[in-house]
Structure 1
Amino acid sequence: MDITDFYDTFFEEAEELLADMERHLLELDVDEPDSEQLNAIFRAAHSIKGGAGTFGFDVLQKTTHLFENLLDHARNGELALRRDIVDTFLETKDMLNDQLGAYRNGDEPDQEAFERICQALQKLALEEIGKGLEAAGGEVPSAAAKPQQPAEPTQPQQPAAVASEASSTADNGSGRRRVALLNVGEKDRDLLVEELGQLGEVIEHHGDEARYEVVMESTVSDDDIEAVMCFIIDADQLEIGAADGPAAAKAGEAAPADDEAAPEASAGQEAATPAASAEKQTADKAAAQSPTSAKPQSGGKPKAADKPKAKAKGGSESTSIRVSVDKVDQIINLVGELIITQSMLDQTVSELEGPANGNLVNGMSLLQRNARDLQESVMSIRMIPMDFVFSRFPRVVRETAGKLGKEIELVTEGAATELDKSLTERIIDPLTHLVRNSLDHGIEPPELREAAGKPRTGKLTLSAKHQGGNIIIEVIDDGAGLNRDKLLDKARESGLNVSDTMSDDEVWQLIFAPGFSTAKEVTDVSGRGVGMDVVKRNIQGMGGNVQIMSRPGEGTTIRIVLPLTLAILDGMSIKVGSEMFILPLSAVLESLQPAKEDLYAMAGDDVVLKVRDEYLPVVAVHEALDVADARTELTETIAVIVQGEGRRYALLVDDLVGQQQVVVKNLETNYRKVPGVSAATILGDGSVALILDITGLHRLSRQKKEARRPRRADRSLESVTDNEMETSS
């Protein structure tokens, strides 16, 4: 079996461990660090180191060796944490992520970056750990007085900290032990025996599939053996303990001489690394002080699954399975085709009459329910919690606030709210722009907040919740709010067509104009006038819209409304002439029959519809899409009130057919981009229906009117006469 078959599993697990590591580092209180968090960070580095060693990723293994050693000193109280030290740890985590990405792509990691991070970690170890030991009344390591110099500048030797870690792990479970593989197939068994041979000397191995035992001599710790094995098998399939029988007795006889034999066993290492001897004393002292380094001395067989870490790891893996996204997408496409076929059959059955078809009708009703349940179950596979998105922002807020000199508290709400995987990946960049914008322009510096009677620390809230068939994501800050006059003045300077009579909602939307920025100077955070227009365009591309609510002195809320998924859509079927169209049900507010007295003419042939003291632009679908044989008398049509990009429109259609769930097909991929149309679907009779884009349809209607109307003087709003209505039709 090729060991590269397990690369993907290692990469995915390592990425998850790095994400957990970053989360714990950001939550760490440097004044009173939580031992559980430090242990979790240490375990993550330890697991990555073990896997990297197994697969031969040397640079990644060496970096994690250094990092793990520092973390061990931190959790033993020998390294006093500060914010800049945590920043160094975060940079190391980023470097590990880069190295992991390089190996995933089949490349070698950046050697210069590796040397730079090694030097930073070595300097931190030599300067800070000595201070910590001295403050605690312990012995200051001799290496702290004189930094180790690499033999070659371009190819540094393995750092002394790595050597000390190797020495400490040699004392942690060294000697002869028995590794039992439970319920492991022959192919995996052979591979595991081969891997154990890389960790020490395999003396004998025998048994069957139920229990296969390997007796080996190794200086590698039990934890390292477990970390390597658990990339291939589950923790509950593994038992590690001292060898029984004569081997155990032999090991027991040799035990008293361990302290004397250790220098001889490591003589080769000390010869290769001159500073290893001095470092080993420090490592031995740290290992003796560490509560986690204590190992049972009995000859029993403690199970790996009995350890808290292994138990949690095994439990999580046994309840989940990793599946390629491509396979999930293929299943979703097949379920979509099944729904289309079911709709075709349902329409055919509905045309049959007579009691003889009762069983067929009942069967179709059952098929419809089962198909819908199947579709919802399959769609739920692609749904992942918003925590996948929100977990990225503590780091963004920390670094951006540091650059701006602001104190920010980040609060997340609704992290368990689920959204389609494709949307969560596409929403990260727009949300990042909005968060940075709130930190830069929204929340004031601490001095100004104090002067305004606010707490020095600003509050930024990321919120997610379901509402109908949509998800609402909000970025809320308690800053100064938007300044209407300032936005209008800046818009006039930028040459935008604005007026003092604009509503607040229209003024707030100005921040999404291309090239628009209120920043006084350009920084690496903002000021170039790019980003916010891209945010709006990207969100609209996902079928969503952006709304802004702001109060001077109290803060700003930016709300993103997105569909839960892009694959299935709840729609309303409408008919215009002989053509069938689909309106997204989430955009439909109501429908009504327009009365003559509620229709008003504007400049040219524009018409508005009065609905409860609100004047809505009228969009005749047959005019915008050039549909023949449609009704032209406005009072004989049906007005569907819809909302897009925060504005409401009245779409004139011939008939409302009904509500149905449709499978969305990308029109651009299969044909080309069509103005006023967002996608397409296949109806029950096999015909193709276009899914309308509300905002694009209004834009298309205005373009066509502008193209065909002559220049006419504007006139005041007045009641539409019969002749005018016929002309506008």
Structure 2
Amino acid sequence: MAAPEPAPVAASPASKGEREIDIHIGPLDNIALADGVAELFRDIPGLGTVSNLPCDQPGKRVFRARTAASDNELLDLFTFHVSKEQIQIHPAGDVVHGKVPMPPATEGKDYGFYEGAPGLPGAPSAHATAAAARDTRAAEARAGAAGPAATGAGLESSTLRVSVSKVDQLINLVGELVITQAMLAQKSRELDNNNANNPLLAGLADLDRNTRDLQEAVMSIRMIPMSVVFNRFPRMLRDLATKLGKKVELVTQGESTELDKGLVEKITDPLTHLIRNSCDHGIEMPDERRAKGKNETGTITLSATHQGGSILIEVRDDGKGLSREKLLSKAREKGIDAPDSLSDPEVWNLIFAPGFSTADQVTDVSGRGVGMDVVKKNITALGGTVEIESAEGYGMRVSVRLPLTLAIMDGMSVRVSDEVYILPLASVIESFQIKPSDINTMGQNARVVKVREEYMPVAELEQIFSVPRFEHSAASPIMVVVEAEGQRVALMVDELLGQQQVVIKNLESNYRKVPNVSGATILGDGKVALILDTSALVRRSRH
């Protein structure tokens, strides 16, 4: 049964640049996803208004919206719920393309040369012609009154909508080009490098520069501004503060900072948790803030900045901060070893323990019983890190650092026998050379090495990956200390080969899931190198 016709809305003067559009969504297997699009208009202040339109086609929904946002801005927001290929945006009242019946082709003797001539079959009557003229004049008047909107439409026509799958295919091809260029660079080193005028070497240098420029340009296609995420939070925070009886102001900084679309979609939930956590546990009640000499309105600041090849997202509040005593007490209740000698950063990191929560009772407000361990796990899965700074009585800051993209990674290449492996550079802490006698065996073949008064588990890649060793006259092994999930492990390797940027290839789509491996890459000599999953290696060695 078709939805009832919505009640007519009284005409009101449009804001500058505002327009009325129809949004067609579908077909969808889960029609509830379309409701998320309508929710965006209610969640994001200033985006506009939206109402339902009747639609009798199964799996489809139609909305009418009044907004000043461009089609591209709307599509970037809508893709949090549905793909761009399932969205059509038209001026209000337009019939969707493909639904208008086409008139029959002219078969008469005029062959269409005299189409519309008076007296011919199908020619418009004088009354219809006059009505059309009136409509044309009215349309021209509306166009003249909407000068700014028309200008915006002209700018809109200079953009091109492309599906994400095509962009990903282009990125993959550029990745292959980068690998090919690396192979050529490897071969060029075998040439006579003393001849600076060698045209082949000059051409390869140009190819290297152009390839890097192309790679950066293509990667920027997937970048979208953080405002897409930030705009979701003001309404959510306002509703939450009202529910808790608190006064909270949200300040956003760096909304134009760009991040890979795939990361933007996955970082939304962790940021939502952090903001709700700050409002629920951090910001005090107005009476309590006044008693402390604070402004009764608390402030939560959400910022994003680029730092090198990563993005730093911070959630700060001026609330009560973390209580060292309360954290230590909760940790001991859960059986966690938490001596008083722990430094402040070590105490703050206790909240990342599985199931750890300082809330006295589980509510539906912030964590809903799910602690910060889930937030850290999700961020770590994206190749990022999370850190906490707190001053009791003054507030807390949570810093999330993420790579700009998931397609390229800075890595440390290491050799084990004749095999080469890649370690994520963000996980590498230090490396040092040892003697075989420095390694001690404890318990059931568990091996440890002493690093600055701390015994650290040793993970032997040779045994983990069953690497055959052909050279028995091995030199002193090298330990590479990696950190993941707050724990450190020493990986034993034969040689450090150096740092390099690698193009990440999904191993599961081409082969299968391999334990302790997160992906693969192709080296300059054409060989395949496995990218190690440091989190899995740490868990394996610690348990």
TM range (shorter): 0.7 to 0.9
User: Is the counterpart of residue 317 in structure 1 residue 270 in structure 2?
Assistant: no
Residue 327 in structure 1 maps to residue 166 in structure 2: yes
Q: Would you say 1:430 and 2:270 are equivalent positions?
A: yes
Establish whether residue 559 from structure 1 lines up as the match of residue 399 from structure 2.
yes
Q: How many angstroms apart in 2 are the aligned matches of 1:647 and 1:323?
A: 42
Residue in 1 that maps onto 2:79 = none
Summarize the Cα distance change of 1:664–1:203 in structure 2 as closer, same or farther, 3 Å threshold.
same
- 2:107 paired residue number: none
Q: Distance in 1 between matches of 2:495 and 2:13?
A: 65
Q: 1:630 to 1:661 in 2, by over 3 A?
A: farther
Output aligned runs, 1:417-456, within 5 Å. 417-456=257-296
SS of residue paired to 2:370: coil
Q: Does 1:412 align with 2:252?
A: yes
Tell me how far 1:647 sits from its aligned partner.
4.8
Partner of 2:413: 573
Q: Residues of 1 paired with 2:42 and 2:60: CA distance?
A: 24
Asked if 1:607 is matched to 2:448, the reply is yes
Aligned residue runs from structure 1 range 135-214, under 5 A: 203=129
Q: Which residue of structure 1 aligns with residue 189 of structure 2?
A: 350
Q: Deviations over 1:470-490 (max 9, x none)?
A: 211111111111123323333
Aligned equivalent of 1:510 = 350
Which amino acid in structure 2 is aligned with residue 610 of structure 1? V
Structure 2: give runs of 5+ residues left out of the alignment: 1-11, 25-40, 65-115, 117-126
Note the alpha carbon deviations across 1:258-283, whole angstroms, 9 max, x for none: xxxxxxxxxxxxxxxxxxxxxxxxxx
Task: Read off the aligned partner of 2:448 and give its amino acid letter.
Answer: V
1:216 is aligned to: 133
How far 1:532 moved relative to its partner? Answer: 3.2
CA change 1:554–1:686 in 2 (3 A) is same
2:202 is paired with a residue of what secondary structure?
helix
**1:274-353 correspondence runs (5 A):** 303=144, 307-311=147-151, 313-353=152-192
Change in Cα spacing, 1:39 to 1:514, as seen in structure 2 (3 Å) is farther
Shift of 1:530: 1.9
Count of residues in correspondence between the two structures? 454
**Selected match of 2:317 from 477, 492, 500:** 477
Aligned to 2:20: 47
| Structure 2 contact 43–236 (Cα < 8 Å) conserved | no
- Residue identity in the other structure for 1:47: E
How far off is 1:95 after superposition?
11
Whether contact under 8 Å (1:415, 1:463) holds in the other structure is yes
> Could you tell me whether the CA contact under 8 Å between 2:460 and 2:492 is conserved in 1?
yes
Q: Distance in 1 between matches of 2:463 and 2:214?
A: 40
Please state how far the C-alpha of 1:600 moved relative to its aligned partner.
Answer: 7.5
Taking the aligned partners of 1:575 and 1:314, their CA distance within structure 2 comes to 57
Aligned to 2:505: 665
SS of 1:203's equivalent? Answer: helix
Whole-angstrom CA distance in 1 between matches of 2:52 and 2:221: 30
Bigger-Rg structure (1/2): 1
Q: Which residue of 1 aligns with 2:236?
A: 396
* Inter-CA distance 91–667: structure 2 relative to 1 (3 Å threshold): closer
Q: Can you list the C-alpha shifts for 1:393-434, whole angstroms capped at 9, x where unaligned?
A: 111111111111111111112222111111001100111011
Q: How does 1:366-385 map to 2 (within 5 A)?
A: 366-385=206-225
Distance of 2:165 and 2:286 partners within structure 1: 48
Identity %: 53
Partner of 1:107: 60
2:514 to 652, 670, 674: 674
Partner of 1:274: none
Larger mean CA deviation between 580-589 and 453-462 belongs to 580-589
TM-score of the aligned structures, taking structure 2 as reference length: 0.72
Whole-Å Cα distance in 1 between the matches of residues 54 and 442 of structure 2?
59
Higher strand share: 2
Structure 1 CA distance, aligned partners of 2:50 and 2:330?
42
Deviation (angstroms), 1:309: 3.1
> Within 5 A, what are the aligned runs for 1:455-474?
455-474=295-314
Instruction: Give the superposition deviation at 1:93.
Output: 9.6
1:54-93 → structure 2 map (5 Å cutoff): none
C-alpha distance in 1, partners of 2:525/2:128? 69
Find the aligned partners of 1:377 and 1:675 in 2 and give their Cα distance.
34
Superposition pairs of residues 219-298 of structure 1, within 5 angstroms: 222=138, 225=139, 240-241=140-141
Distance 2:17 2:430 in 1: 57
Q: Which amino acid aligns with 2:360?
A: K
- Say which structure is richer in helix: 1
1:350 to 1:47, Cα distance in 2 relative to 1, 3 A: same
Equivalent in the alignment of 1:585: 425
Task: Quote the offset at 1:314 in angstroms.
Answer: 3.1
Contact 2:409 2:503 in 1 (8 A): yes
Retained in 2: the 8 A contact 1:575–1:581? yes
Instruction: Determine if contact 1:623/1:701 at 8 Å carries over to the other structure.
Output: no
Secondary structure of 2:134's match?
Answer: strand
Note the C-alpha offset of 1:661: 1.9
Instruction: Please give the per-residue CA displacement for 1:669-710, whole angstroms capped at 9, x wherever unaligned.
Output: 33333333221112223322111222322222334xxxxxxx
Following the alignment from structure 1 to structure 2, what is the Cα–Cα distance between the partners of residues 355 and 428? 53
Contact 2:448–2:455 (CA under 8 A) maintained in structure 1: no
Instruction: Work out the CA distance in 1 between the residues paired with 2:57 and 2:352.
Output: 38
Which of 678, 685, 698 aligns to 2:538? It is 698
Q: Please give the TM-score of this superposition, normalised by the length of structure 1.
A: 0.55
Cα deviation, residue 637, structure 1: 2.3
> Are the equivalent residues in 1 in contact too, given 2:245–2:285 (CA < 8 A)?
yes
Q: Distance in 1 between matches of 2:303 and 2:45?
A: 30
The equivalent of 1:550 in structure 2 is 390
Aligned residues of 1:594 and 1:634 also touching (Cα < 8 A): no
Displacement of 1:372 after TM fit? 1.3
Distance 1:370 1:609, change over 3 A: farther
| Residues 621-630 or 471-480, more deviating | 621-630
Shift of the 52–426 alpha-carbon distance from structure 1 to 2, 3 Å rule, reads: closer
CA distance in 2, matches of 1:100, 1:476: 41
Distance in 2 between residues matched to 1:648 and 1:549, nearest whole Å: 21
Q: Larger relative contact order (C-alpha < 8 A, sep ≥ 6)?
A: 2
